Amino acid sequence: MAPAGGKHLVLASGSPRRLALLQQVGIEPARLLPADIDETPERAEHPRSLAKRLCKEKAEAAALTLRRIGEAEGAYVLAADTVVSVGRRIMPKAELIEDAVANLRTLSGRTHRVYTGVCLVTPEGRVRQRLVETRVRFKRLSRQDIDGYMASGEWRGKAGSYAIQGLAGGFVVRLVGSYTNVVGLPLYEALSLLTGEGFDPARARGDVEEPA
């Protein structure tokens, strides 16, 4: 339950990775409120535009839910969406092994881009966004590499069919940009959005006592 009347953070995501990243910097969201939206790209939609659109839709959907249940007071709603692409081609979040294998074969030996859109809805209803881009180059993946990764199950439901913080970290030859962006939540940009809109991370860490 969110604290009554005080400023608090609602993470519009059920992603364990995004939660862990916030916890890494000492922030514990008051609640998790995943937004169920259609993530299908629009026709000819650029990967950058998709990441920005989906994070905004997720944040606004969660904010609307909070208003409907009467828990919007003091709530900062944070959402993110990560898209992996090769050129303009968007790599799907695979649920089937054959799709995941196809993704990894496409990424093998090539540089791809990871875009994460971050959106914040403030208690006053302001909408703020950031888009972060990271370039990642994979080594040339052998059949053994791909088969082993499929067996791990780490690929399931992940953008690009891999999780850089797991076994796929061994595939990375070069990374230019934010590592936490590839994990799923660029921390610098997320914290900048929060602090720029008056949210105090120290209070979320419990470092600052609420006034009596």
Q: Is 81 a catalytic residue?
A: yes
Contact call for residues 4 and 71 (beta carbons, < 8 A):
no
Three-state SS sequence of the chain: CCCCCCCEEEECCCCHHHHHHHHHCCCCCCEECCCCCCCCCCCCCCHHHHHHHHHHHHHHHHHHHHHHCCCCCCEEEEEEEEEEEECCEEECCCCCHHHHHHHHHHHCCCEEEEEEEEEEECCCCCEEEEEEEEEEEECCCCHHHHHHHHHHCCCCCCHHHCCCCCHHHHHEEEEECCHHHHHCCCHHHHHHHHHHCCCCHHHHCCCCCCCC
Residue 193: which of 49, 66, 56 has the closest Cα? 56
Contact call for residues 135 and 176 (beta carbons, < 8 A):
yes
Residue 46: which of 101, 80, 86, 17 has the closest Cα? 86
Which one of 36, 38, 81, 145 is the catalytic residue? 81
Active site (catalytic) residues: 81
